[in-house]
């Protein structure tokens, strides 16, 4: 009560925070920011079956959020470790994401996409990451109307950052673009 700190703090280590949400701790009074755009179930009532719902924020979150771009970049990095050459990496990506091999048309389109995006990323290098600014919280007193600014203290713990686009080659970034498309497809969402 009365604090200006963010109620949600991500885990500092990647191995602890990059997990399926089914394994994360869920506090009843606090919705996980990752789940919030997907119309999560209410925490105050239990039900035996949840109806499927689609809300517009899902598409925006899945294509534009930092989380999905970080996930796609990590996926691309994994593909580079596990396979050699573009065709093998594309086949491995389809196998991991969709549980099947790509068709000839999908393979050709993916190869073309990777070549175009590699050239684009060569011409547009990723900016280097910068240290986050200390957030400034502003609060107005209810009694006096006085406005107070407080500079927040960043946690002193060592935060293990995710892989950043500036840390990888243009080919990896192009592969991450393909991975982002695969991870946002209906075939990925509905694989059982």
Are both 115 and 189 inside the same structural domain? Answer: yes
What is the extent of the structural domain holding 186? 65-125+164-192
Asked if residue 149 belongs to a domain, the reply is: no
70 and 115: one domain?
A: yes
Domain co-membership, 96 together with 178: yes
Same domain as 90, residue 174: yes
* Same domain assignment for residues 23 and 49: yes
Sign of CA dihedral 43, 47, 50, 55: negative
Give the SS3 label for residue 136.
strand
Average pLDDT over residues 168-174: 96
Residue showing tokens 């089914």: 22
Residues 173 and 121 occupy one common structural domain: yes
Query: Does any domain span residue 103?
Result: yes
| Contact status, residue 70 vs residue 129, Cβ threshold 8 Å | no
Q: Is residue 179 part of a domain?
A: yes
Residue 88 lies inside a defined structural domain of this protein: yes
Residue 186 counted as domain residue = yes
For residue 149, give the H/E element and its range. Answer: strand 147-151
Which whole number is the average pLDDT over 73-98? 95
Confidence of residue 188 (pLDDT cuts 50, 70, 90): confident
Give the pLDDT confidence of 11-52 residue by residue, as tens digits.
778 777 776 666 667 777 777 777 777 777 777 777 777 777
Domain count, the chain: 2
Model confidence at 192: pLDDT above 50? no
CB atoms within 10 A of CB 33: 14
Distance CA 105, CA 118 (A): 20
Q: What is the reported pLDDT for 74?
A: 93
User: CB of 79 within 8 A of CB of 164?
Assistant: no
- Judge if 48 and 118 occupy the same domain: no
* CA–CA gap between residue 127 and residue 52 (Å, rounded): 39
Checking if the pLDDT of 138 tops 50, the result is: yes
Alpha-carbon dihedral sign for residues 16, 20, 4, 149: positive
CB 83 within 8 A of CB 89: yes
Residue found under tokens 């280590």: 13
Give this prediction's pTM: 0.77
In a domain, 4, yes or no: no
Residues 34 and 92 grouped into a single domain: no
| Within a domain: 154 | no
């Amino acid at each position: 009560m009365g604090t200006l700190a963010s109620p949600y703090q991500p885990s500092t280590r990647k191995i602890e925070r990059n997990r399926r949400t089914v394994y994360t701790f869920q506090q009843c009074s606090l919705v996980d920011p990752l789940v919030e755009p997907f119309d999560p179930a209410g925490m105050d009532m239990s039900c035996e079956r949840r109806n499927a719902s689609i809300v517009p924020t899902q598409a925006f979150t899945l294509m534009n959020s930092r989380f999905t771009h970080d996930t796609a970049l990590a996926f691309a990095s994994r593909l580079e470790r596990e396979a050699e050459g573009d065709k093998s990496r594309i086949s491995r990506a389809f196998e991991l994401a969709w549980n099947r091999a790509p068709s000839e048309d999908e393979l050709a389109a993916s190869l073309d996409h990777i070549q175009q995006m590699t050239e684009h990323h060569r011409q547009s290098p990723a900016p280097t990451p910068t240290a986050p600014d200390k957030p400034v919280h502003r609060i107005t007193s209810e009694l006096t109307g006085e406005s107070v600014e407080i500079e927040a203290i960043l946690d002193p713990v060592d935060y293990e950052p995710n892989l950043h686009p500036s840390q990888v080659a243009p080919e990896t970034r192009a592969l991450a673009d393909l991975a982002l498309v695969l991870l946002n497809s209906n075939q990925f969402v509905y694989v059982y």
